[in-house]
Amino acid sequence: MTSMIRDRFGRRSLAAAILVGLIGLFAFDLFVVEPADSAEFTLPGDSGLRRADVTFKKVRYDAATRAVVADLDVKVFSKTDLVFKHLAIAIRTTGQDRSLRVPFLQTATDECALTAGFDYPTDAQAFRSSGSYLCRDVEIASPVQSAEILYPFDTYAVPLSFRTCVNTLEACDGSSELPVRVERIRIEPERTQHLIASMNPAGEQAVALTLRRRIFLQIVTVVFFVIVLAFVGYLVFAADPRDTMTKSLGVFAAIWGLRSIIVPASIAVFPTIVEGMMMAMFCIVFALVLVRAIDNKEVQP
């Protein structure tokens, strides 16, 4: 009797510890990771007369084009009086240079827009003039190796290097006038895609950007599959053969319902690793039902 109570208390303690651990992990992801899901990096070196702060907003993986897309916010600061007519940004990602030209006056076909300019702050500031530009839906890396099949364990690595110039309509190169040094980079992932960004130095005016899924989503997926696998094992070894069909239908419904929670509609690739594991479970349970049905038919008179 004492050992039975002790075993029951031990199992309950283990279940309570797992529950508390999952709740704590969720709270950590929600209140600690979520406010800090942006990544900021300062490139070393002297910015000279002109510097730029670049912010990639709503960074997301677009499954249709297999590209990493973002809204690009560029703020240029100059220590001299400078009239901002144009801005040219060359972003090198996959070995090719592309230029984003920003005209001073926005038109309906322009990719970017000057949102603020001719800013002359007080003498206490480190710059005399500034300009701010916004470019929407810019493909900062295309194509990117498709990794969604590994969702939610997929990651996307994007090398970025910058060459920026002002008052030019041509692509930036080494001979361009009025070069601008990118000094600070900030990455803000699209929260609806459950992405976290990190950056590492990759050379002069270059960073390596990495997007990965949240750790809570990955752990919940693993826990979900362990639970499903344990229940399938119960059906195989411990369940009453007469209840196999009823319990198997319950497993099917539970797996499909939880799949819709784990895999959002934005994941267009099929099958991901989640669907692959589910289809494997379906096959195991279907084979079990079939074997049990044959066995029951053979034992009947």
- Any residues with CB less than 8 A from the CB of 31 and at least 6 apart, and which? none
Where are the chain's structural domains? Answer: 38-213, 217-296
Question: Which pLDDT value is given to residue 94?
Answer: 46
Strands 67-78 and 97-102: unpaired
Angle at 267 between CA 74 and CA 283, to 5 degrees: 160
- pTM of the prediction? 0.74
Distance CA 83, CA 80 (A): 10
* pLDDT at 108 (0 to 100): 42
Q: What's the sign of the alpha-carbon dihedral 205, 212, 20, 261?
A: positive
Burial of 270 (0-12, 13-18, 19+ CB in 10 A): exposed
Give the Cα separation of 28 and 292 in Å (integer).
45
Which parts of the chain sit beneath pLDDT 70? 1-11, 32-37, 84-86, 91-112, 114, 116-125, 142-146, 169, 171, 238-245, 295-301
Burial (CB < 10 A; 0-12, 13-18, 19+), residue 153, is middle
